[in-house]
Amino acid sequence: MSRFLNYVFSALAVTAFIMSGAHSAETDPKVVRIATVAYNLNGKTHYLGSTELASETGLDETLAKRGVKLEWVPAATAMVGPIVNEAFANKSIDFAAYGDLPPIILNGSKPRVQLVAPWGRSGNSYLVVPANSTAKNIADLKGKRIALHRGRPWEIPFANLVQKNGFKLTDFKIVNVNPQVGAAALASGSVDAFFSLSDAYNLVDKGVGKIIWSTKNAPPDWKLMGGLWARNDFVKEHPELTQAIVTSFIKANHWAAQEAHKETYLKDYASLVQPESVVRRDYEDDSVSWRDRWSPLYDQALVDHYKRAASYARESGLIRNDIDIQQLLNSSFVDKALKELNLETFWAPSRIASQQ
């Protein structure tokens, strides 16, 4: 009798397992929406290099096998943060690939999103002054007008630079404009400096600006950081689907991080928006290696970066509440993806912390 009962219970357990798997597949949403920076070039929409690459390295096919359609939701570069944050708040998107400060601001009222796949130390920030300026460093700009788009990821390295040199934001006249307006303001002489990304080189090439500081040789946690963010409720309801998406993004990171693919990435992806010469200079002479620029690890540099970013957002009044870093950073999906793809030792963690 006991053998018969054991058989019955085993059969029931197997049936329950099969049914749970079927139920899981059936409860997948029909569409997954991922927002990212978009550019319209020659009548065609192109997405931020790493996200477009993820699609080409199998993300669409991965979702299609599950009966899920992928929809990219374009966000214009001038207003990425507000556009994506609003979409997350009204649940019209499930994921977004964007920088660090906007999602911190979004989580300032209550936990809404979490970082499920970092895209690495993705880029540099630059302090540019007019070509005829005598300013040589941030100290020379005290009391001067600096164009800076508040609430964007590069505000964090600017704040780091200001604090490191013993100043406060109030020591400068911050002109809150988007990068396009900021660049025009510098060119026209309306501001004394402009803080932005690699578009700084365009001003240099036009002969209207010169770079007096950048994050190229700053500590790793001063680099721009961000990645794939997911709605908390989506992750809770669809962990397996979230895992499949994260694994696809890690495949894209791994492809791009290989030295053999560097030239292809620079020419076919990174140079879609900026001239190739600008892109190459942004990557040259950098303290972070090409491979580590794509590191998805939740290492000490990343944790330090988000702790500082959250503290800065609170202190500067961008958010009213403290951020729980443990809720903000979820490494479980990347850990599983690295193990599944045999990439556990491909990237080495950075433990270099900046001295603040």
Given a cut of 90, whether residue 191 has pLDDT beyond it is: yes
Given a cut of 80, whether residue 272 has pLDDT beyond it is: no
The residue type at 250: I
pLDDT in tens, 61-77: 999 999 999 999 988 87
- Give the model's confidence band at 9: pLDDT under 50 very low, under 70 low, under 90 confident, else very high: very low
Strand partners, 231: 113
Q: Which two tokens stand for residue 107?
A: 């989580």
- Give the model's confidence band at 11: pLDDT under 50 very low, under 70 low, under 90 confident, else very high: very low
Strand partners, 123: 224
> 64-102 burial, b if ≥16 CB within 10 A, otherwise e?
eeeebebebbbbeeeebbebbbebbeeeebbbbbbbbbb
Strand partners, 75: 37
Given a cut of 90, whether residue 40 has pLDDT beyond it is: no
CA 292 to chain CA centroid, nearest Å: 15
- pLDDT reported for residue 230: 98
Given a cut of 90, whether residue 135 has pLDDT beyond it is: yes
Cβ-based neighbours of 186, under 8 Å, separated by 6 or more: 128, 129, 130, 147, 193, 194, 203, 208, 209
Q: Which two tokens stand for residue 206?
A: 């036009």
Beta strands 209-214 and 126-130, pairing class:
antiparallel
- Cβ–Cβ < 8 Å for 177, 146: no
- Placement of tokens 């603040």 in the chain: 356
Q: Which segment of 12-26, 103-117, 173-187 scores lowest on mean pLDDT?
A: 12-26
Higher pLDDT, 318 or 50: 318
- pLDDT reported for residue 56: 78
- Give the model's confidence band at 27: pLDDT under 50 very low, under 70 low, under 90 confident, else very high: confident
- pLDDT reported for residue 47: 72
- Cβ–Cβ < 8 Å for 214, 127: yes
Residue 14 CB coordination number (10 Å): 10
pLDDT in tens, 318-347: 999 999 999 999 999 999 999 999 999 999
Ordered by where they begin, the domains of the chain are 29-122+224-340 (3.40.190.10), 126-214 (3.40.190.10)
Residue 207 CB coordination number (10 Å): 9
Given a cut of 70, whether residue 24 has pLDDT beyond it is: no
- Cβ–Cβ < 8 Å for 47, 38: yes
- pLDDT reported for residue 270: 80
Mean pLDDT score of the chain: 88
pLDDT in tens, 194-204: 999 999 999 99
